[in-house]
């Protein structure tokens, strides 16, 4: 039996709204047992505009679900601008972001903007967050922001993860479908994996991919496979460029709910997440088993080809270098203040 949990969502923009809606559906369908959901949004006007819409959407469901269950969810929803409300939180989801406008043209711009927000949010969280709390991060660039949240809140690394890898894997499936022409039924989705950075140095693991129960290299030539690789990576990096792409909402919310459901379950689920990798000593996309008991890596790393190992090593170094640059900037800022 699932135990009741308290959930907090920090950031109530489009993704936060989709996420809360999906969590409510999971509660109505008895897939999650939640005693309290707290939505924290520092922008009071945005918060007010979302509350009414969400409650109306729940009331509309009365003909399909039990009215008492719907009313219980509404009664257990709390909307606030105060971070103090996370003090009883079991799972916290960070769904904030700097406004994506023309000033944010690439990953570096987004990293700088979101790190400033991350520092402020982590400072507030560190004052109230309970030591057992688990964090699921959505904010991009995901590898670095997840690591920064862990460092700044001082929570153990095994309690802070990000959800980017599931989205990367879905994009890989799209790439296979659109470029090779194989339909989704023929693709073994469980054989798809992308490790490393959620960005340009991501590492699709083609040696594991099965299509119609055959290895992808038996069916497609290297040129087509390279096009699929570029497709899956470019789909991710172009979301950093405001003029080319609107960041996804539905897929991100679904990936987050998948992670949440797996983390509260007693039965381990195999899933690729952005989490602390003991081999590479950094946060990066890693295949793990996740359950209420915790997170542990699978043996996938031992099955990689030499080329995949080299690519993953480069990806890990890329993440570390970006992280260290942010820490240096932080130290410089402190020194200048002194």
- Per-residue pLDDT tens for 62-104? 889 989 999 999 999 999 999 999 999 999 999 987 666 556 5
Scored b (16 or more CB within 10 A) or e, 224-248 reads: ebeebbebbbebbbebbebeeeebb
Q: Is residue 124 reached through a cis peptide bond, with omega within 30 degrees of 0 on the bond before it?
A: no
Domains for the chain: give ranges and CATH numbers.
Answer: 5-162 (3.40.50.720), 165-323 (3.90.110.10)
| pTM score of the predicted model | 0.92
- Per-residue pLDDT tens for 278-328? 999 999 999 999 999 999 999 999 999 999 999 999 999 999 998 988 877
Across the chain, mean pLDDT equals 89
Lowest-pLDDT range of 78-82, 184-188, 233-237: 233-237
Sequence length of the chain is 338
């Amino acid at each position: 039996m699932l135990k009741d949990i308290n959930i907090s969502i920090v950031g109530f923009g489009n993704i936060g709204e989709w996420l809360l809606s999906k969590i409510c559906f999971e509660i109505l369908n008895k897939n999650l047992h939640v005693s309290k959901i707290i939505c924290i949004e520092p922008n009071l006007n945005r918060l007010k505009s979302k509350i009414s819409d969400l409650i109306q959407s729940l009331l509309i469901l009365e003909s399909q679900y039990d009215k008492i269950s719907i009313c219980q969810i509404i009664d257990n929803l709390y909307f606030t601008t105060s971070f103090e409300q996370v003090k009883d939180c079991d799972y916290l989801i960070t769904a904030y972001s700097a406004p994506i406008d023309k000033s944010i043209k690439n990953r570096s711009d987004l990293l700088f903007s979101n790190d400033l927000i991350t520092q402020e949010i982590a400072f507030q969280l560190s004052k109230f967050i309970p030591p057992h709390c688990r964090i699921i991060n959505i904010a991009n660039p995901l590898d670095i922001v997840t690591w920064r949240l862990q460092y700044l809140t001082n929570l153990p690394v095994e309690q802070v993860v990000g959800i980017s890898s599931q989205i990367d894997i879905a994009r890989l499936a799209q790439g296979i479908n659109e470029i090779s022409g194989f339909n989704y039924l023929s693709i073994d989705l469980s054989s798809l994996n992308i490790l490393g950075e959620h960005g340009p140095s991501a590492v699709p693991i083609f040696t594991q991919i099965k299509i119609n129960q055959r290895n992808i290299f038996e069916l497609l030539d290297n040129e087509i496979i390279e096009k699929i690789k570029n497709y899956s990576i470019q789909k991710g990096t172009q979301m950093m460029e405001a003029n080319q792409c609107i960041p996804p909402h539905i897929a991100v919310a679904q990936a987050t709910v998948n992670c949440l459901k797996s983390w509260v379950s007693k039965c381990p689920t195999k899933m690729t997440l952005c989490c602390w990798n003991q081999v590479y000593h950094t946060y990066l996309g890693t295949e793990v088993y996740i359950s209420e008991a915790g997170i542990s890596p699978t043996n996938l790393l031992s099955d990689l080809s030499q080329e995949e190992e080299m690519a993953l090593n480069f990806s890990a170094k890329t993440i570390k270098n970006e992280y260290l640059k942010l820490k240096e900037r932080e130290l410089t800022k402190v020194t200048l203040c002194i």
